[in-house]
Amino acid sequence: DAGVIQSPRHEVTEMGQEVTLRCKPISGHDYLFWYRQTMMRGLELLIYFNNNVPIDDSGMPEDRFSAKMPNASFSTLKIQPSEPRDSAVYFCASRQMNSGNTIYFGEGSWLTVV
């Protein structure tokens, strides 16, 4: 089975530009998570969805960040406008109900804002 698929793998953008990261979860998984990894803060949960509905977005740093899940097989994380401090690796992950809370990660989207 295919794993979690993220795109783009790498993105370099200028400050002020809009960035959209995309994720396709594992088929059949009910939960989708967006994590951010930085040297300073480690891995932190930004938001998660259950059955396409956002459940907890308390980790979203500010209004410049937004996430959507229009259907069970697609989610986006958007940053507008982007700032250099948004540079990080953004991971999408998914899990299935009754899987003992095990989540499976995509390969990450490496974002650099210059």
Partner 1 sequence: AQKVTQAQTEISVVEKEDVTLDCVYETRDTTYYLFWYKQPPSGELVFLIRRNSFDEQNEISGRYSWNFQKSTSSFNFTITASQVVDSAVYFCALSETSGGSNYKLTFGKGTLLTVNP
Binding site for partner 1 (CB under 8 A): 31, 33, 42-43, 45, 48, 50, 55-56, 89, 91, 93, 95, 100-108, 110
| Of 15 and 97, CB closest to partner 1 | 97
Please identify, using beta-carbon distances, which residue of 19 and 92 lies nearer to partner 1. Answer: 92
Smaller CB separation from partner 1, 82 or 109: 109
Q: Which is nearer to partner 1, 3 or 81 (CB)?
A: 3
Q: Residue 85 corresponds to which tokens in the numbers above?
A: 């401090």
Q: How far is the CB of 67 from partner 1 (least distance, A)?
A: 15
Q: Tell the smallest beta-carbon distance from residue 63 to partner 1 (Å).
A: 22
**Beta strand ranges found along 1-114 (DSSP E):** 5-7, 10-13, 19-24, 31-38, 42-50, 53-56, 65-71, 74-79, 88-95, 104-105, 109-113
CA distances from 85 to 6, 36, 54, 111 (A): 21, 12, 25, 10
Cβ 77 to partner 1 shortest distance, Å: 16
Least distance between partner 1 and beta carbon 56 (Å)? 7
Residue 100 and residue 53: Cα distance in Å, rounded? 20
